Every structure is written in C-alpha cells, then in structure tokens.
Amino acid sequence: MRILAEGEAPYLAVDPDGFRAFVRDHKQRALKPKLMSAHDAISRFVADGDYFVFDCNYFQRGPSTLVREVIRQGKRDLWLCGKFSYVDVGLLVGAGCVSRIDCGFFWPGATIDRAVADGRVRVFEYSNVVMTLRLQAGAMGLPFLPVRSFGGTDGFRHSGAKLVEDPFTGQPITLAPALNPDVAIIHVQQADVYGNARVFGTGIAHQESALASKKVIVSAEEIIDTEEIRRDPGRTSVPYYAVDAVVHAPFGAWPGNCGGYYGSDTPAVIETFAAIARDRVSEYVEKHVAPFADDAAMFDALVGQERLEKLRAAETITEGYRP
C-alpha cells in the first residue's frame, strides 16, 4: 500500500488511542445534569489554543449564542473547523480569536483577506465534505477514512490528506486524516439536562462533531424532560455521554433560521455580512456582544420581545420539526 502523494499542511495530530484515553477519563457515563449558562459552558470548556468546531453556522440552526459568548470571553488562538460557514469564521477572525483555519467554506471578505495577508491567520485547505468526513473518522475512533473526492486538487497539496495505493483494488485512493477537535459547539431544537439532544431538519455534522470532540457544548431552544426522550428514542441525535454541557438558549441561532422555531432576521443577517465584507467586525462586536452580560440582555436591548415574536410567527413550517 504505497503512498503516492501527500499534502504538506500541518494538521491536528491523529491520535485515536489518545482520544480513547481522554474519553475513558473524562466523558461522564452516569446521568448527571449538565445544565449551565452559556458563560459557564464557554469559560469551562473552551480554552485558548483549542481546535474548535461549530456545527451548521451563524445563520442556519447554528450555535450563534455560543459563538457570541466565545467572542465575549475573548478566547484566543483557536484552530477553526471552517466548514459550511458564512460569517462565523469572519466574526471569530475579526474578533481576534483565531490563528488557524481548516477551510471547507467560509464567506470571504476584507476581514479574512487582511488577517491572511498579514499572516495573523493561517489557512489549510479542505472541502466541506472532506471536513465532515474527517469528523466522521474521529467519531468512529479511527485514524482516517478513505474518500473518492479531493485528490488532484491544490487543496489536497495544502492539506493533511494522503493518496495511497488501495490494497484491495490497486487503485489510487485518498485518505483523510481523522479529526478529534478539542471542543464542539452545537445548537439543537431540544435537549434534556443530561445532554440527550434532538436535531430536527437537515444538518451538517452534529452527530459526528459531538462524538469526535473532547468537550461538547450543546445549546438548545427547549430543555425537555428525559421522559420525553425515552418516549421516542429514535429522535435522539446525540446521546448524553458525548455531551459535557447543556445550555438553554432560546433564539440561540439568531439571527439565523431555526427550523420549526423561528425565521431568520434578515436585516440582522445583512448587517452581519456587511461587517465581514468591510472589516467592521470590531464595530459589530461593540454593538452586539461587548456591552452585554449575555444574549438575553442583548435581545432586550437590540431586538426586543416584539421582534422576536415576529420571527417566531414568521416560521410557519412545523412539519417534521415538532414531534
């Protein structure tokens, strides 16, 4: 099984045995309540220098409240899993939280352009699917997974992937290195206090991110009773023993759409895009994050109950989202 080609980029060390040992020593097997504030979850479980994955994004059932809290707490030197992202990467880069990005996709603009040009941020190249596949490998406890895409691109040359000779077919096959992030933040519609979490609608890699990551923070629109979880176990997307913190975060995906719960806040979405495009993230942070103790305070000051209710009313679709 010869190695035919290898990417030249640094990548998070592949260490399935080390991850197993971490899981053995730190993942809670017992049913213990994990409900805490966004502030406590982020301060306890996100450390400077962490490899950081967020599922979905700031506009689409993503952990927007948790992203704002990461910025509020001024975390530094994060290595981002930058897949399927619109503004999340730009916001975190603009807020000075980021030193490295594994790129699947992020919304470009002056903020990232400048950070990369100045050498403040290094970018390594993948694709969205290759990143979710790396997370799947990590979620399976494996060192790598094969993939039929990515080979031959310049991304491959600037990644941690390898092209090898498949010992079964003799043909070339790309191997993507497993990814076991230090921390994952995920927003879901429903979770119980133990971390049994339900995602409704499509997703990106919530299950993979939760199982692959050392520390997992789940924010939820609703905290539901465990009895409800037990009444429909087929709806559980992430089991409790993968989860370290549960945050009750109504409108936790604002300004995005949270399927079955509320529509997106279009002016706020456009305002966020503009901040990235014009490298005005600091102004965005000054307005939406810095002045407030938490999102509840921010919603009161900048959005208001009436507007939030309008967003709820705008979400007319419930089929498939409300069991």
Contact between 21 and its own copies (CB under 8 A)? no
- For residue 173, state whether it binds its own copies (rule: CB under 8 A): yes
β-bridge pairing 78-82 and 122-125: unpaired
Among 5, 77, 143, 226, binds its own copies (CB under 8 A): 143
304 binds, among other proteins, its own copies, none (CB under 5 to 8 A by kind): none
The smaller minimum CB distance to other proteins, of residues 61 and 72, is found at: 61
Closest alpha carbon to 88 in 120, 115, 56: 56
Rounded Cα distance between 213 and 227, Å, is: 27
**Can you tell me the distance from the alpha carbon of 113 to that of 123, in angstroms, rounded to the nearest whole number?**
11
152 binding other proteins? (CB under 8 A): yes
Tell me how far, at minimum, the Cβ of 156 lies from other proteins, in Å.
Answer: 8
Which two structure tokens, joined as six digits, stand for 113?
A: 């352009």
Q: Could you give the residue ranges of the DSSP H alpha helices within the chain?
A: 16-26, 38-45, 64-72, 88-94, 110-117, 128-139, 154-157, 206-212, 226-231, 266-277, 281-288, 295-298, 305-314
Smallest distance, its own copies to C-beta of residue 209, A: 18
108 binds other proteins per the rule CB under 8 A: yes
When asked if residue 2 is in the footprint of other proteins (CB under 8 A), the reply is no
Contact present, 228 and 198 (Cβ < 8 Å): no
**Looking at beta carbons only, is 9 or 275 nearer to its own copies?**
9
Based on the shown chain and the rule CB under 8 A, indicate whether residue 232 belongs to the binding site for its own copies: yes
Contacts with its own copies, residue ranges (CB under 8 A): 1-3, 14-17, 141-148, 162, 164-169, 171, 173, 175, 177-178, 200-201, 230-235, 319-320, 323
